[in-house]
């Protein structure tokens, strides 16, 4: 019987946990099996079959997640399948290679469909490595303090539970990846995972408007282009409860299609297509 097998490198961080371990656990699939996978649909997360000494077959899918490494590989293997996380990334790959590209978005972290408690805006949050917020984090904290808003800088957690706890403690999420968005390759493969995570809890995001974010989560975040914009947007969310609630409700509705039970169906579809 054909099944699903996921392959990932431990050095690929949270991408491997989300796109391999979490999905495999939900589907009852395997991660990095050493045998009896030859007839499976094999998904290589930010990696290729050659890295594991595997042959490239028609049942292989290369999951690029948020990295453009797949472009040169795909040009050498035009018959192989690519998984993109967004429609923006799909178009980016298809403009350069003849490969079949399908879109499977990243699922959000909120498996239990929890919601932010109704309270005043007291805590803004940053999550991820320095690239997720390109400005000065200490400066941001000092400028939010007079508004009576604390900055919770979560860093770059790997464990699912830590990510969920972060979102349960914040009221607004802040992102700013303007420089990365402007780069021709890295900007096209950025995912919407952080804004999706926040939206699933009913938490608005203040962010530079990345291309995929504009397409998938327009109306769920406040677009900003500078530090001054960020501070103004956070202040408005604190003072205008109606504005906050509108973004919150729209985000919850939009994020539902990214719940793991819905994303898992897209993986099951790969078995039906085989």
pLDDT in tens, 215-258: 999 999 999 999 999 999 999 999 999 999 999 999 999 999 99
pTM of the model: 0.95
The pLDDT-based confidence of 12 (bands split at 50, 70, 90) is low
Q: In whole angstroms, what is the distance from residue 84 CA to residue 75 CA?
A: 16
Q: Where in the chain is the domain with CATH 3.40.50.2000?
A: 123-256
**Is residue 108 within 8 Å of 197, Cβ to Cβ?**
yes
- Tell me the pLDDT band of 274, cut-offs 50, 70 and 90: low
pLDDT at residue 191, rounded to an integer: 95
**CB atoms closer than 10 angstroms to residue 51:** 11
**Domain 4-107+259-273: which topology?**
Rossmann fold (3.40.50)
What percent of the chain lies above the pLDDT cut of 90? 84
**Token pair of 39, please?**
């007839």
Q: What is the distance, to the nearest Å, from the Cα of residue 64 to the centroid of all Cα atoms in its chain?
A: 12
Contact 51, 70 (CB under 8 A): no
| Number of residues written out for the chain | 274
> Taking a C-beta distance cutoff of 8 angstroms, is the pair 104, 263 a contact?
yes
Sign of the dihedral through C-alpha 150, 109, 86, 42: positive
CATH topology of domain 123-256: Rossmann fold (3.40.50)
The secondary structure of the chain, three-state, reads: CCCEEEECCHHHCHHHHHHHHHHHHHHCCEECCCCCCCCCEEEEECCCHHHHCCCCCCCEEEEEECCCCHHHHHHHCCCCEEEECCHHHHHHHHCCCCCEEEECCCCCCCCCCCCCCCCCCCEEEECCCHHHECCCHHHHHHHHHHHCCEEEECCCCCCHHHHHHHHHHCCEEECECHHHHHCCCHHHHCCCHHHHHHHHCCCCEEECCCHHHHHHHCCCEEECCCHHHHHHHHHHHHHCHHHHHHHHHHHHHHHHHHCHHHHHHHHHHHHHHC
Q: How many CB atoms lie within 10 A of CB 243?
A: 15
CB of 215 closer than 8 Å to CB of 86: yes
What's residue 206's pLDDT? Answer: 98
Residue 267 contacts residue 27 (beta carbons within 8 Å): yes
pLDDT confidence of residue 2: 72
CA nearest to 63, candidates 10, 104, 2: 104
> Token match 């320095």: residue?
130
Average pLDDT over residues 182-207: 92
């Amino acid at each position: 019987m054909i099944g699903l097998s996921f392959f990932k490198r431990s050095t690929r961080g949270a991408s491997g946990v989300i796109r391999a371990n979490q999905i495999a656990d939900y589907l009852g699939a395997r991660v990095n099996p050493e045998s009896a996978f030859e007839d499976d649909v094999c998904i290589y997360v930010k990696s290729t079959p050659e890295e594991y000494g595997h042959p490239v077959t028609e049942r292989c899918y290369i999951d690029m997640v948020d990295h453009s490494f797949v472009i040169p590989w795909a040009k050498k293997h035009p018959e192989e399948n690519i998984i993109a996380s967004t429609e923006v990334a799909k178009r980016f790959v298809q403009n350069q290679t003849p490969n079949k590209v399908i879109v499977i978005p990243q699922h959000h972290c909120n498996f239990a469909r929890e919601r932010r408690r109704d309270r005043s805006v007291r805590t803004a949050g940053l999550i991820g490595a320095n690239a997720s917020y390109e400005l000065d984090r200490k400066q941001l904290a000092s400028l939010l303090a007079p508004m009576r808003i604390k900055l919770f800088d979560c860093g770059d957690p790997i464990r699912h539970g830590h990510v969920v706890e972060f979102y349960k403690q914040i009221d607004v999420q802040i992102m700013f990846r303007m420089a990365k968005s402007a780069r021709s390759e890295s900007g096209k493969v950025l995912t919407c995972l952080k804004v999706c995570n926040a939206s699933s809890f009913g938490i608005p995001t203040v962010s530079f408007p990345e291309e995929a974010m504009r397409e998938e989560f327009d109306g769920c975040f406040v677009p900003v282009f500078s530090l001054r914009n960020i501070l103004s947007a956070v202040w408005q969310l604190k003072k205008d409860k109606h504005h906050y609630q509108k973004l919150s409700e729209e985000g919850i509705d939009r994020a539902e299609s990214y719940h793991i039970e819905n994303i898992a169906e897209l993986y099951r579809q790969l078995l039906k297509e085989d």
